[in-house]
Structure 1
């Protein structure tokens, strides 16, 4: 059973999410919180696997609450659920340590799939979200002909972490896969980007992104 903490300042939203998630066999909603401080308190009481977080929560905001939770509970998955789909909000959320960024227009089955993916793989990046974040970091859009546009979702996840100077072992633990699997993915990334090794791939990614991707450093 995957334990979930719901954090949102809108009562109707949080109650609706609670009813929705409890209708799925995989999830157990362990608590609800309406602001950042109470979310941290509930974290200490229940140690949930996933936090489903709104951006508008008072008492430090969703980004601040995400950052505080990431700092104190490094292995907890944090999923942002918000109506704000502008790239700048995505960037702030990922820099704070979010594992996924979802729209409130998402359907029930899509939400279930995203949460299961985050729990299993450590991160969920849709192609649309990845393109927004990559484009924002580079201060230019990711063109369809760019080598980065040819990466799969998993390869983009690993590239984000590599560009953030994470070691293979850390990446493996964060994504819940073996170091050998990470190395296999890296080999495919090298081939697609035309880079001969990890160092050149890091340099390529940082040159394109303009700065570290901001994925959680505390793995």
Structure 2
């Protein structure tokens, strides 16, 4: 990553904002550009000053983090939101992810892990507190599979990549499974996100569950025509 990641801190506790600013500011990859105490101020800040990532608390006075996440992404679709919360199984956090957040971590996350997560999210990846990954999928409401082929816009190779993304595979996993270079994987991942109109990898997983293409625990993807349907010989 050549350019620093610009970050806005949105939390109603000034002491925590100061601590986060110190921790993240010590990482040469990150540049903290400001801090605000409520959701409405976060939206206005992003409207006036583009930032790569908003590190957002959920429970704030006035406009909460859920509404603020949706508004921030409406004002600046290229900005990413990473939720920082006290409880990793908070239903409000799941609602924020559904509103477009690229993931969430707990406030006791180690500084190095938090900085890494901010950088991953800025690059279009996702970050989810490990203990909450399964619970997140359980909170995804199943919808009826739309008529026609929901993956019609994807090429056969992109469908394979989608199939692995839907199971949470990393770029390295995808490359090893499909015998692709790192840059080629990144190109296909971007094409999948663009073709499905999704902001990042975590929303690929949610989209697959919502459309009935993945069932919790069964490891099977239906309709993707992907790598799991045709394992290499």
Structure number with greater CO (CA < 8 Å, separation at least 6) is: 1
- 1:7-156 matched pairs, under 5 angstroms: 7-137=10-140, 151-154=167-170
Q: Which runs of 5+ in 2 are unaligned?
A: 143-163, 172-191, 202-213, 227-233
The Cα of 1:112 is off from its aligned counterpart by 1.1
Residues 175 and 134 of structure 1, relative CA distance in 2, 3 Å threshold: closer
- Per-residue CA deviation, residues 113-169 of structure 1 (Å, 9 max, x unaligned), is 111111123322355332111122369xxxxxxxx9x934449xxxxxxxxxxx653
Aligned residues: 166
Aligned to 1:198: 224
Question: What TM-score, normalized by structure 1, do the two folds share?
Answer: 0.66
The Cα of 1:108 is off from its aligned counterpart by 0.4
- Per-residue CA deviation, residues 156-192 of structure 1 (Å, 9 max, x unaligned), is xxxxxxxxxxx6534588349xxxxxxxxxxxx8xx5
Q: Which runs of 5+ in 1 are unaligned?
A: 140-147, 156-166, 177-188, 201-219
Q: Paired residue for 1:174, among 191, 194, 199?
A: 199
Question: What TM-score, normalized by structure 2, do the two folds share?
Answer: 0.62
Residues 24 and 58 of structure 1, relative CA distance in 2, 3 Å threshold: same
Aligned to 2:7: 4
C-alpha contact (below 8 Å) 2:89/2:132 kept by paired residues? no
The Cα of 1:90 is off from its aligned counterpart by 2.9
Residues 138 and 128 of structure 1, relative CA distance in 2, 3 Å threshold: farther
Aligned to 2:159: none
Residues 127 and 154 of structure 1, relative CA distance in 2, 3 Å threshold: farther
Larger Cα-atom Rg: 2
The Cα of 1:4 is off from its aligned counterpart by 0.4
Q: Which has the larger share of helix?
A: 1
C-alpha contact (below 8 Å) 1:37/1:59 kept by paired residues? yes
> What SS does the corresponding residue of 1:43 show, helix, strand or coil?
helix
Residues 171 and 87 of structure 1, relative CA distance in 2, 3 Å threshold: farther
